[in-house]
Structure formats: C-alpha cells, structure tokens
C-alpha cells in the first residue's frame, strides 16, 4: 500500500516536471480550445442568436470548450508512458518498488492536476465572452474536472499500453478526440438535433461531462430551457451527470491498470 501511494506522488510529480519542460504542449493545450472558441464563436454567434433566454452561442459553447481542454490534456497523459518506453526511462520506473497501480494512478493524478490548471487558465477569459463566474462556480467546477479528468486519463493510459511509438499514440488519440468532442454537445444542444445524431451524442460519455460543466456555468435553468441532456423524458441533473462520468471513469482506470500490469 505504501508502495502504491509513493507511486502516485512520484509518478504524478514527474508528469508535472515533464509538462513544464514541454513548452509546445503547454501552448497547444491552450491555443487549440481558444481557437475553437474564437473562430466558431465569431462564425456562428450572429446567425444563431440566443439559444435560450440570455444564453448566446459563445456562452453556450464556452463550458464545452473547458470540457474539451480537460479531455485533450487528460488523454495525452498516456504519451508520457509511450515516451518513457521509447527512451528507456519506463524501466527505471518499473523496477522501482512502486506498484503498478500506483504508477497508473500517478500518471492520472498528474494529468488531473494539469487539467485543473488549464481549466483555471480558461476561466480567465470568462468575462470576455460574457459568462458570469463567482467563487461558487469555481468550487463546483473543481470536483467535476477531477472526476472527468481521472477517467479520461485512464482512457489515455489504456491506449498507450498498446502503443509502441509516439506517432502511433498521437494518431490513435486524434482518432478518439474528434468524435468524442464533436458528439459531446460542445457545439450544439443534443436535445435539438436529428435523432441519429442525438442517439450518438447521448451514448458519448463526454456529453455528460459537458452537461455538468454547462449547468455549473449557466445554471440548471438553462438545462430546463432545452440546453441540457434529456434521457427518456428526464433532464439530467449535475449529480446524475457526475455519477455517469464517475462510473465510466472508474471502469476506464481499472482497465488502464489491467493493461499496464499485463505488459511485462
């Protein structure tokens, strides 16, 4: 047990050190979501008008962009595994008395801390897009980001356990990121799209993460006004969203631990 705890902090610490060193990753992880926000916002705001009373397109999209930042940062947690394998350092970690579970949880924890920091950076631009934030918003956001990020890091590490090269990993992650983001209701309310799209979006677990974050920013009233996620006539609450994301996240993390142990 002590080995597992030490694994979590040693490996988590290293993830942070690696990230600070990797400037291109810092820049791209912030620039990418911002680009979406600015370009999509500028492109669609005028044509679309208000989606619900007091909610224009940029305000609608902004919480989704935060979820997107969390998604990208978390999935890329796995690249550390692939990088370390390529350069041999993974062996140093594997022969240390750390416990495989601790190593995986450490990677996920490191990624979660990064996701929190990046969500914090995104909060700075909230006033610019006309989204109101206060301390309660921030306090509510933290647990949602943690739950979402831990699970998605699990997915990233799971993918990484099967990848031998960084190029292969990046390709696999891109293939995952795009459908996950476009079908998560970041850019459209999932209740008011064609049925086939609605079904796909409601099967996408990220949808519930986006919905939870959106309700934190825009209030539960926005969900009631048709911007939420309705399953069989029931509109999801924040707690229910978190439950869905949490259960799936636990499964993904468990799968990541299994995949990581499996490789000798």
Partner 1 sequence: MVDVRLLTRHFGALEAVKSVSFELAAGEIFGFLGPNGAGKTTTINMLCTLLTPTEGEATVNGFDVVGQRSDVRRSIGLVFQQPTLDEYLTAIQNLRFHGYAYGIPAAVRERRMRELLEMVELWDRRDSDVRTYSGGMKRRLEIARGLLHHPRVLFLDEPTLGLDPQTRRRIWQYLLDLRQGEGLTIFMTTHYMDEAEYCDRIAIIDHGSIVGLDTPAALKDRVGGDLITIKAPDGAAAAAEIRTRYGIEPQLADDAIRFHVPQGETFLPEFVRSFGQPLESIGLSRPTLDDVFLTLTGHEIRDEEVSGFDQMLQQGRRRF
Would the CA dihedral through 264, 75, 145, 9 be positive or negative? positive
Smallest gap from Cβ 26 to partner 1, in A, equals 15
Say if CB 93 and CB 84 are below 8 A apart. yes
| Residue 1 contacts partner 1 per CB under 8 A | no
Query: If DSSP codes are grouped into helix, strand and coil, which group holds residue 181?
Result: helix
Q: Supply 246's token pair.
A: 């949490």
Does 110 contact partner 1 by CB under 8 A? no
Give Cα 159 to chain centroid, integer Å: 15
Exactly one of 39, 42, 48, 91 binds partner 1 (CB under 8 A); that residue is 91
d(CA 263, CA 35): 38
Query: Does residue 26 touch partner 1 according to CB under 8 A?
Result: no
| Dihedral angle computed from the Cα positions of residues 18, 142, 177 and 46, in that order, rounded to the nearest 10 degrees | -120
Candidates 16, 26, 94, 251; binder of partner 1 (CB under 8 A) is 94
Identity of the residue, 26 or 125, whose beta carbon is nearer to partner 1 in the bound complex: 26
Under the criterion CB under 8 A, does residue 135 sit at the interface with partner 1? Answer: no
8 interacts with partner 1 by CB under 8 A:
no
* Strand 230-231 to 50-52 pairing: unpaired
Among 13, 40, 44, 258, binds partner 1 (CB under 8 A): 13
> Does position 134 bind partner 1 by CB under 8 A?
no
CB of 261 to partner 1, least distance (A): 11
Site for partner 1 in 140-199 (CB under 8 A): 164
- The helix or strand, by DSSP H or E, that contains position 235, with its residue range, turns out to be strand 234-235
Among 49, 53, 87, 124, binds partner 1 (CB under 8 A): 87
* Phi, psi angles (nearest 5°) of residue 22: -95, 85
Distance CA 84, CA 154 (A): 17
Nearer to partner 1, 7 or 249 (CB): 7
Q: Find out whether 67 and 184 touch, Cβ atoms under 8 Å.
A: yes
Applying CB under 8 A, which part among 6-14, 50-58, 144-152, 215-223 lies near partner 1?
6-14
Cα Rg of the chain, angstroms: 19
| Residue 39 φ then ψ, to 5° | -70, -50
Q: What is the C-alpha separation between 147 and 109, in angstroms, rounded?
A: 11
Kindly identify the residues of this chain, within the stretch 193-252, that bind partner 1 according to CB under 8 A. none
Please identify, among the stretches 55-63, 93-101, 146-154, 238-246, the one whose residues bind partner 1 according to the rule CB under 8 A.
Answer: 93-101
Q: Is 79 in the site for partner 1 (CB under 8 A)?
A: no
In the complex, minimum distance from the CB of residue 173 to partner 1, in angstroms, rounded to a whole number: 20
Residue 98 binds partner 1, judged by CB under 8 A: yes
Q: How far is the CB of 195 from partner 1 (least distance, A)?
A: 45
Report the Cα 91 to chain-centroid distance in Å: 28
Residues interacting with partner 1, by CB under 8 A? Answer: 2-3, 6, 9-10, 13-14, 17, 21, 85, 87-99, 164, 263-264
């Amino acid at each position: 047990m002590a080995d597992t705890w030490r694994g979590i902090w040693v490996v988590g610490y290293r993830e942070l050190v690696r990230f600070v060193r990797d400037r291109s990753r810092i820049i791209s992880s912030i620039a990418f979501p911002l680009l979406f926000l600015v370009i999509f916002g500028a492109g669609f705001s005028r044509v679309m008008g208000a989606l619900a009373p007091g909610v224009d397109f940029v305000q609608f999209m902004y919480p989704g962009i935060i979820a997107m930042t969390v998604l990208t940062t978390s999935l890329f947690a796995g690249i550390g595994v692939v990088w370390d394998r390529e350069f041999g350092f993974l062996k140093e970690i594997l022969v240390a008395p750390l416990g495989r579970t601790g190593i995986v949880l450490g990677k996920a924890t490191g990624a979660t801390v990064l996701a929190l920091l990046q969500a914090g950076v995104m909060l700075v631009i909230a006033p610019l897009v006309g989204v109101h934030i206060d301390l309660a918003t921030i306090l509510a956001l933290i647990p949602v980001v943690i739950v979402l990020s831990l699970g998605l890091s699990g997915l990233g590490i799971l993918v990484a356990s099967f990848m031998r090269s960084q190029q292969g990993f990046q390709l696999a992650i891109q293939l995952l990121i795009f459908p996950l983001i476009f079908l998560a209701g970041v850019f459209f309310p999932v209740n008011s799209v064609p049925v086939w799209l609605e079904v796909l979006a409601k099967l996408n677990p990220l949808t519930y993460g986006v919905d939870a974050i959106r309700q934190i920013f825009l209030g539960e009233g926005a969900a009631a006004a048709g911007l939420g996620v309705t399953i069989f006539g029931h509109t999801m609450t924040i707690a229910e969203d978190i439950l869905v994301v949490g259960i799936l996240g636990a499964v993904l993390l468990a799968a990541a631990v299994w995949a990581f142990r499996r490789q000798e």
